[in-house]
Amino acid sequence: MENRKPIVGISCGDLNGIGLEVVIKTFQESMMLDFCTPVLFASSKVTSYHRKAIGVQDFSFNIINDLNEVNQKRANLFNLWNDSIPISLGNPSEETGKRALESIDAACDALLSGKIDLLVTAPINKNTIKIENGHFSGHTDYLAEKLGGSPLMILYAEDLRVALVTGHIPIKEVASALNQETILNKLKILNKSLLQDFGIRKPRIAVLGLNPHAGDDGLLGDEEKTIITPAIEEATKQNIMAYGPYAADGFFGSNQHKKFDAILAMYHDQGLTPFKALTFENGVNYTAGLNFIRTSPDHGTGYAIAGKNEASPNSFRNAVFEALELFKNRKENIKLAKGALKPQPMEKQKMGKVR
């Protein structure tokens, strides 16, 4: 059915954190069902536990065991497990890490089979998740393996969008991880996402330097001269409106970020520290470059307040709304790109006889 509401898959996140609390609070608001049909991948037992912990009595999920049974008028819960799971709110455990990964995998399978349309992930603790033959570095890289594409982390709220060249790596490894090809590739993904997913016709991208004062003309490091500037110049040749590199310390404080559609930061804290300072509790994490739309709230598991009914659902609610907007934009822009929405040809004018 082409006109049905989008089906939003939701992974449960860390069961000992605030993930299920913000999910419940979000869909406790009945108006959310006017925009989408949610499907949470978890179990009825753990959601009942969390509802009782935060004193929610006027809300329940529609429990299903088959994704063909989704109720368009309810918040649905795909029952992944029937066994009892030990819950210890506020405490990390390998058992809840295992369940968090199972929820992500089930949601990815549903995406790939077309049973859901997009994905919103609740917060996880990376240290509790174990995968075969490797290290779990977070949602971004794992989802790229499962869903395909070249991932780029974008944090955004309203008109502020901050993307990262490097993600969850130690600060001592950042400089060695940067090269012209990597930065250019991230600029390409960011530019495409701004066009296709955000619907910005002529996106302007600011690129931050790596070193203090953007290297101070080589005095404080030469990465700006040897790596970042050449990447910007090459991007410009490829019709990407990229500018910089800008000194990161004064960029946000001087409101320069308001002149651009997105900012590309070199490493995690360089971009996320100012972003979270400016957008507390309202930011959304978007994984651009994937074959499917995936968002998440910009906060973590919130162990310190888990089960205390203190977690704000604002960021998670925003993640749902933004995922829906991104899904709509991408769908429409892909159709346009394929020429599906071609302008109607003008009728041939009848020519009179020349006298």
* DSSP line for 264-322: EESSHHHHHHHHHHHSTTT-EEEEEEESS-EEEESS---GGGTTTT----HHHHHHHHH
Say yes or no: 213 and 241 in one domain.
Answer: yes
Give the pTM: 0.89
Say yes or no: 251 and 301 in one domain.
Answer: no
Confirm whether 330 is domain-assigned. yes
Q: Of 278, 300, 321, at which residue does a domain stop?
A: 278
Residues of the chain predicted below pLDDT 70: 1-2, 340-355
Say yes or no: 19 and 108 in one domain.
Answer: yes
Confirm whether 350 is domain-assigned. no
Say yes or no: 141 and 169 in one domain.
Answer: no
Say yes or no: 77 and 179 in one domain.
Answer: no
Cα gap 192→187, rounded to integer Å: 8
Residue 352: what pLDDT? 38
Give tens-digit pLDDT for 42-95.
999 999 999 999 999 999 999 999 999 999 999 999 999 988 899 999 999 999
324 membership: H or E segment, kind and range: helix 314-337
Structure tokens at 154: 């974008």
Give tens-digit pLDDT for 112-135.
999 999 999 999 999 999 987 778
Say yes or no: 1 and 142 in one domain.
Answer: yes
Residue 348: what pLDDT? 37
Helices (H), 131-267: 139-147, 174-177, 180-196, 223, 229-237, 248-251
Confirm whether 107 is domain-assigned. yes
Say yes or no: 120 and 185 in one domain.
Answer: no
Residue 353: what pLDDT? 34
Domain that holds residue 222: 159-278
Count how many domains the chain has: 2
CB neighbours (10 Å) of residue 56?
16
Read off the CATH number of the domain in which 254 is found.
3.40.718.10
By C-alpha distance, which of 260, 262, 270, 257 is closest to 286?
262
Residue 132: what pLDDT? 79
Cα gap 108→92, rounded to integer Å: 24
Q: Of 278, 299, 326, at which residue does a domain stop?
A: 278
Confirm whether 354 is domain-assigned. no
